[in-house]
């Protein structure tokens, strides 16, 4: 197994772990991964997230958030089968 395959698998597991605990969003995941020593860009993470969504491991759903100047949408990631998805 190549190192990049192992690295990608660890990132996927980490994302699934956090999505199973509570709804998360992309930038939040990037910051969390950075806290654990993973250096990942949005250009790498988002295709990975969409691949996991295709496999039905979680759901990406927009949620309204209150921003400082206006309301906006943020795509939150929910682990499939968790209470918060229903």
Read off the pTM.
0.72
Rounded CA-CA distance 21/44 in Å is 23
Per residue in 29-75, pLDDT tens?
899 999 989 889 999 998 998 888 888 887 877 766 665 555 555 66
Number of structural domains the chain divides into:
1
Structure letter (DSSP) for residue 85 = G
| Whole-angstrom distance, CA of residue 85 vs CA of residue 63 | 12
Structure tokens at 82: 């968790």
Q: Which candidate, 80, 82, 79, 81, places its Cα nearest to that of 18? A: 79
> How buried is 15 (Cβ within 10 angstroms: 0-12 exposed, 13-18 middle, 19+ buried)?
buried
Which one-letter DSSP state was computed for residue 34? H
Please report, for the domain that includes residue 53, its CATH number. Answer: 1.10.10.10
Instruction: Decide: helix, strand or coil at residue 61.
Output: strand
Domain of 9, in residue numbers: 3-85
């Amino acid at each position: 197994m190549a190192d990049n395959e192992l690295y990608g698998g660890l990132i996927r597991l980490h994302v699934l772990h956090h999505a199973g605990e509570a709804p998360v969003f992309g930038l939040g995941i990037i910051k969390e991964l950075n806290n654990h020593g993973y250096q990942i860009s949005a250009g790498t993470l988002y295709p990975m997230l969409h691949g996991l969504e295709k496999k039905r491991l979680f759901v990406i759903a927009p949620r309204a958030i209150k921003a400082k100047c206006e309301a906006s949408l943020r795509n939150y990631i929910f682990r499939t089968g968790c209470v918060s998805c229903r």
